[in-house]
Amino acid sequence: MEKDIDFLKLIFADLHIHSKYSRACSKELNFENLVKWAKIKGLNLLGTGDFTHPLWLKDIEKLREDNGVYYLDDFPFILSSEISLIYTKNGKGRKVHLVYLAPSLDSVRKINSWLDTRGRRDYDGRPIFGISCRDFAAKMEEIDERIEVICAHSFTPWFGIFGSEGGFDKLKDAFEDKTYFIHAIETGISADPLMCWKIHDLDAKSIVSFSDAHSFWPWRLGREATIFHAPKNEKLTYDSIIKQIRNKSFFGTIEVEPAYGKYHFDGHRNCNFSCSPEETKKLNGKCPVCWKDLTIGVDYRANELSRLGEASHKDKKFYYKILPLHEIISLALGLGVNSKSVWKIYNSLIEKFENEFNILLKISFDELMKIINNKLLCNLIMLNREGKIEVKPGYDGVYGKALIDGKEVNLEENNSNAIEAKKEKSVQKKLF
């Protein structure tokens, strides 16, 4: 664990977020709330999210532009969006989410005009299109070579590029002759860089992390982020961020413990059953409760992909493995993350120490004790900083559960991703 990092020389960025126009997102998700809570979190750069949605694009157009960076007052955004590609290749249904960044509104308008020839984009901030990964990447390169296409939550079963349900074993299988245009993959909540470094296919790619936040609350926004180097004596530019992604020259990432993710282990949510990859193999992939196929999780897929070639990943970036502060307070108190008691402690810490990343990564035990006088909580914050919070792995749409001395504490659970997957299948049937 690196110490004494100079935050002033770094940019904490969350470039994969959504707007109020995306499915299962907060209706209060606007730019004002994003800026307010990004500052409280400790983020100093966000993606706009959802630039394909006509109404959200109108709000984006109100931002002030400077060198490909868009500002609400003094807070910077980079144009970003996510697309769901659902199509058939080699006789198999494919389902892949991609995040992409754009250098200008002119590029965005060209993207949107092209998408309008292929279907609708007004019904959801993350629309579905029957376009292949290869053809999408080719069109982005044609529109503007500075557009950055990133594989979103790359290992999750339902919509990850490597997912067990409709993904691929290699990037080239998806992007074909345009694989060179893909410079980065996003870990997703259920994976971390260590898992990615074992995969030969990712040796030349940047491993980045973002939250895929569906609300502005600080246990969602910035729970995963990428840490960039701030330009020396220069203005922040779109090109300076993209260069760091493409050259693998950014500082590192913030990750949650991957076991906390909803798809880390294999299992069946409805059967209340989960298991490790080793146990899945013993069960021949069948649930012992209902005897149907298990939902194969991220840990299993990463292990399988690591066997396809010897990895030699260079330029491994430093990363923090931490849970959001609300989760740690919730764990210490045994209360829900959104309870009044959790908020009271959270607010007192923010008032004193400015933002959440300061508290999670820098403030000493003694300084914390002076404000909250809770030894268990302060110890948990220190253990969290060292990546030592024990977590019972999540599976099939169920979050992992943090443990104290091996015992579960009832933290917030949210099955929205699994629900979203079902809804997306329903939308797919209507569109295609």
Cα–Cα distance, 162 to 301 (Å, whole number):
7
The residues, any chain, with a CB within 8 Å of residue 280's CB and separated by 6 or more, are 266, 294, 296, 300
Residue 411 in this model has a pLDDT that exceeds 70: no
* Segment 264-297, tens digit of pLDDT: 999 999 999 999 999 999 999 999 999 999 999 9
Q: Which two tokens stand for residue 45?
A: 């750069």
Angle at the Cα of 166 from the Cα atoms of 99 and 22, rounded to 5 degrees: 40
Mean pLDDT of the chain: 93
Q: What is the percent of the chain where pLDDT is above 70?
A: 93
CATH topology (fold) of 7-260+314-318: TIM Barrel (3.20.20)
What's residue 8's pLDDT? 73
Q: What is the percent of the chain where pLDDT is above 90?
A: 89
What's residue 4's pLDDT? 58
Domain ranges for the chain: 7-260+314-318, 324-388
Closest Cα to residue 359, out of 375, 344, 348, 343?
Answer: 348
What's residue 365's pLDDT? 97
Max intra-chain CA distance, the chain: 62
What's residue 53's pLDDT? 98
* Segment 131-162, tens digit of pLDDT: 999 999 999 999 999 999 999 999 999 999 99
The answer to whether the pTM exceeds 0.95 is no
* Segment 298-352, tens digit of pLDDT: 999 999 999 999 999 989 999 999 999 999 999 999 999 999 999 999 999 999 9
* Segment 27-81, tens digit of pLDDT: 999 999 999 999 999 999 999 999 999 999 999 999 999 999 999 999 999 999 9
